[in-house]
Structure 1
């Protein structure tokens, strides 16, 4: 059955604050800053809002590291709790990316997924820090790659430098999230699209304003981006979808459309040899379609092709 999810990704520069500013005032300035940013997307009633990496950190230029740590300690969970209140009042999820201090005094660069009730549904700690985050920022590398269950689907997170490392991506490939939330200070270029296709997942990236925030389909196609004029993007996607290769499946596509018409969609991004099939109705799921027409999902096709290559007599001596 169709599972429509409305996603908003917000691009915003870090707020420049004089380091001499009182820490409580800095927290209040940060909350007012994010109030203004959220006003741009809340009228669209998104199901989830994705924020950029370290979204509530004062702009680092001219802000001493020791003062930054003082700010983190004073801020505590105040800004997270502000976002939790927004999530609760607007019945949406928020991917809140920020540095946080643990009980042992060490820090993590984390995404906290806040649910519609304002509760923390899960925490992802950045697995692949930039070295300076460890050597200067007292942060520890995260080791887990959790996938979170939400009321619309399975969600995974990545943060900035993470996008360069196959180790994390392959963990997600095995866990099959339906949506990857990417909070970042850098865009990543083609790696965003590669992650989406490799994980067979939609990808929602929130990046600072020097690069666009994007929503990407499971075939690596950019669905929507923020622009140089408007530093946010909102788009509805359908998570009841599957990537299907044209080989051995394409002969069924016309029969499917003839029977179900606009109750299904078959989208070809071109050049890839694979399409996205989705159920656009409450009457059946995309997996019902796959069973009815005997379709083979892309990963099953790859596995069958590899097994055939290695079958006795098929591989050169």
Structure 2
């Protein structure tokens, strides 16, 4: 019997070939998905994100074309949101441009991304350079499902290098962007090093924060998710893009087997709890709701996640029924009690 040693390189090659063949059947899979929207869980959101790892192009237009081509791989999942990397048309391209030139090119590329959103009925986070009243910004424009601008964010914490080139830091307060999934927000790259922008978005009730970046962030992305009790999506110019749930777990990411793009679902019907004293009610909840509800305890950190797995059950109703406060409500109540006791 012949034994064959399959090298990692050969395996990758075979995998790539199989993937290419599989993509030929996307049209058939799309038909299979058609009409299934009604079966989706009530608050499930599908999120796609992109990494420019290993990519290069001669021009911004060529880079944009490559990205749009690669995004076809995830359209079969009908993503609700697509996030692109920071200033993506100008990264890993051969030609260099002035800030004025980059704004002009960005204006042209906006139209392509708006058309992508409109054609695929998705929100797209599109990081580009913009100009308003003679000032230049490192921005992210969010296009809605119709290809219209739903909102934009200007990077608050610009680097010294960017400032020296003429980029203006964004306002310290910027409104969250409204969607049918609740408010969403954006932070960009260097914003990771400051708490204020993340806090600003959390205080507005933001459910998802998109983080286009030059660097991939690693565990910092997970940390921002559990610190702010919201979904965080990274989209870097290099290395790993990832999707993190409210407890900080990595739900999906790019990597050596899928280096540029992923698309994955997230259940938004969750609440972040301080474990004690509410753990005393968990058995009652499990007894009543069984498989329809999942409770996950982080034993050492002493926080818990309660999640509805049924489209007919809302977590807020469970919390009200069993007199349970969210983590933020619990900490806020304790803070008020402490202030009162100090008087």
1:32 aligns with 2:65: yes
Instruction: Give the structure with the higher percent helix.
Output: 2
Matches within 5 A, 1:61-210: 63-64=95-96, 67-69=97-99, 71-104=101-134, 106-136=135-165, 138-143=166-171, 144-210=173-239
Distance 1:68 1:15 in 2: 22
User: Structure 2 vs 1, CA of residues 17 and 221 (structure 1 numbering), >3 Å: closer, same or farther?
Assistant: closer
* 1:268, distance to aligned residue in structure 2 (A): 2.7
Structure-2 change in CA distance of 1:68 and 1:37 (3 Å): farther
Note the C-alpha offset of 1:98.
1.2
Take 1:31 and 1:166, find their aligned partners in 2: how far apart are those partners? 32
* Residue 7 (structure 1) aligned with residue 36 (structure 2): no
CA distance in 1, matches of 2:86, 2:234: 10
TM-score when scaled to structure 1? 0.87
Q: Distance in 2 between matches of 1:270 and 1:10?
A: 33
Unaligned runs of 5+ in 2: 1-40
User: In structure 2, what is the equivalent of residue 253 of structure 1?
Assistant: 282
Distance 1:14 1:115, change over 3 A: farther
- SS of equivalent residue, structure 2 residue 119: helix
Query: Are the counterparts in 1 of residues 140 and 153 from structure 2 also a CA contact under 8 Å?
Result: yes
Instruction: Tell me if structure 1 keeps the 8 A contact 2:207–2:231.
Output: yes
Q: 1:224-303 alignment to 2 at 5 Å?
A: 224-231=252-259, 232-303=261-332
**2:112 partner SS:** helix
CA gap of 1:283–1:150, structure 2 versus 1, over 3 A, is same
Distance 1:226 1:271 in 2: 29
Aligned partners of 1:173, 1:73: CA distance in 2, in Å?
30
Q: How many Å separate the matches in 2 of 1:269 and 1:98?
A: 39
Return closer, same or farther for 1:300/1:74 CA change in 2, 3 Å cut-off: closer
2:9 paired residue number: none
| d(CA) in 2 for partners of 1:235, 1:190 | 19
2:81 is equivalent to residue 48 of structure 1: yes
Give TM-score scaled by structure 2 length. 0.81
How many corresponding residue pairs? Answer: 301
For 1:182 and 1:218, the matched residues in 2 are separated by: 15
What RMSD in Å do the two structures reach over aligned CA positions? Answer: 2.2
Q: Which residue of 1 aligns with 2:17?
A: none
Aligned residue for 1:306? 335
Q: Which has the higher contact order (CA 8 A, sep 6+)?
A: 1
CA separation of 1:32 and 1:169: change in aligned 2, threshold 3 A: closer
Deviation at 1:91?
0.9
Shift of 1:205: 0.9
Return the alpha-carbon distance in structure 1 between the equivalents of residues 159 and 195 of structure 2.
Answer: 16
In the alignment, the residues of structure 2 paired with residue 58 and residue 225 of structure 1 have an alpha-carbon distance, to the nearest angstrom, of 20
Judged with a 3 Å threshold, the aligned counterparts in structure 2 of structure 1 residues 28 and 132 are, in CA distance, closer, same or farther, namely closer
Moved more, 67-76 or 93-102: 67-76
Q: Distance in 2 between matches of 1:139 and 1:28?
A: 22
> How far is the alpha carbon of 1:228 from its aligned partner?
1.9
Gaps of 5+ in 1: 19-25
Contact 1:200 1:218 (C-alpha < 8 Å) held by counterparts: yes
Q: Counterpart of 1:186 in 2: which secondary structure?
A: coil
